[in-house]
Structure 1
Amino acid sequence: MSLMLTLFLSNLINHPHFAHSYQIFYSNFREKIGSLKYERSLRSRYFFVGIFLPPLIIGGLLCLLFLELPRVFGLAANTMFFFVGWHYVKQGYGMAMLDAALKKKFFNSMEKKSLLQNAYAVWIFSWVLINFSLQGNSTKYFGVSYFVVPIPVWLLAISAVGCTWFSCRLLLVLVRRFRSDVPLPVNGVVAYLVTLYVWLLFRDPIAILWIPLFHSLQYLTVVWRFKINKITSERSSPVSPVYRIAIFAAIGFGLGYMAFWRFPEWLDANVSYNKEIFGPSAFFYISWIFINIHHYFIDSIMWRKGNMDVMQYLFESPVPIVAPKGKKDCSSPETGVVTT
């Protein structure tokens, strides 16, 4: 029962967070790839990730499926989990930076470098450790045989030493900062540490299922702050901000359900492929891998430093939401965010 509840909650919260990233990324997309108010490098990234990358990933996976290359097809899942680690540590680092910016307790360049280098070291070690621990095991992902990258002991040892070295160095940096006169953004640092050491290195099977849920909740705090600020800043719209936010949320749940469940289910039932090799859920496999990997690249653009949308809507104070006529205004007088 606890396993089923965990899976239900994880999917319920996790899928809308993916959908919301698409809603934000492709909103006003023509302007993002063509307007001069965005830097040229940023426009190029939007074009590559938004237009070029999706058919590249999907086309590659479909070729592997129909050419019946199960070994390489199984490597796609390992590639996805490789990028999962990258995505998680970048989010952990981003939460530390966001908390520091909102509280005006900024990290200096040396501290930021130490946080980022440690994040990458933990990420690489976690991926190496997972592949090393799965060697010799028959693992499947949506019925597709998972390809485990062979990891020699010496590589595991090097990655472990590197992880330990950067972790100890970061500990010294944080202790030095804590003892200084400059306040430490504690919440952001805690989010960073949990993301790295609990999400990536904790191996309990049930706890692992909760990680996407907490990752999504952490992500949604950023998305909702961004979206609420953006909607409430658009005063010219005749539609109430409350309704627009509700519509945004509803679309996210609908897109998440369709993309992760209904659409791949239909494809598996109606498209012919070799189910003896790939099992009955190959399109579930393709859909989940594509959305995950593409989402990571989307995020690397949306939340990057220098993106004017982030600076405008993520760091500014929310504007109080005006309740519809006849309804009590239930927004918080301190934050402007609607409370229930």
Structure 2
Amino acid sequence: MTSNEFTHKTVLLKETIDMLNPSDDGVYVDATFGRGGHTKELLSRVHNSMIYAFDRDESAIEVGDEIKKDQSIIGDNQLVLIRDNFENMQERLNDLGISEVNGVVYDLGVSSPQFDDAVRGFSYKKEARLDMRMDQRQELDAEKIVNDWPYNDLVRIFFKYSDEKFSKQIARSIERTREDHRITSTLELADIIKNAIPAARRRTGGHPAKRIFQAIRIAVNDELGSLERSLDQAINLIKPSGRISVITFQSLEDRIVKHTFKEMSEVDVPRGLPVIPKDIQPTLKLITRKPILPNQTELNENNRAHSAKLRVVEKI
């Protein structure tokens, strides 16, 4: 089965594009193309517009190439696919002569096909080589982290990226196992994690490997660092009245988005100042004071929507 055959339901599809407030003759960026859900919805809303779509995953670009051939989707718009990390957004767009855009949309996290395709090694439930790379051209993968990173580095990413209370025990168990043989299998790693946690604690909550696999995936792909760098670029690129829509799926991502948007939408004004000078005006305006969440219908239809949060800002 190819990656294109996996089904993928785009979360908060209508809400994200509604809040982007697109119009004709615009320039838009889909920073996380995935399987093209938000791009296709955007194409259906605008005319004579340019959409630049970024993705590190080769299979996502293949999906995009098929969409480009479908005139019923493209219409009188143009779609440009860029296989790269969205942290290089500004540089890549500048290379194409684009210095300003009308809107940017992010749908963060791993797409359903990446999780469902066992070969990719993202899932703790399916047998595969430890991989977890979103861009399979890069050298660093999950196997290298699990087998080659020092104990202290494993503990650090387990605490930081998954808030795992048993990070030290899990890291020690990994360390003991790899002294005997190299850990290469997703299911073997899942068992090592499970057995490192006290039996009483394993009886509650989900599978204990879920959090650790998330932490390793974040480290492999430098997801949080890339997000911080990319958001700064998106804010620079957006024209006045342009918007940025961001969907997050876990608390660490949401915290970065929330704090970045809050910081750029507030200014420290001296007390008693009757008018805020233009040179200390905020850069952004919050369109969503609180995140938009999926409605009950979407939650019933798509289990992966449960942790989704949509935040939107507008350039002043």
Bigger relative contact order, structure 1 or 2, given CA contacts below 8 A and separation 6+? 1
What range is the shorter-chain TM-score in?
Answer: under 0.3
Higher strand share: 2
TM-score (norm 1): 0.23
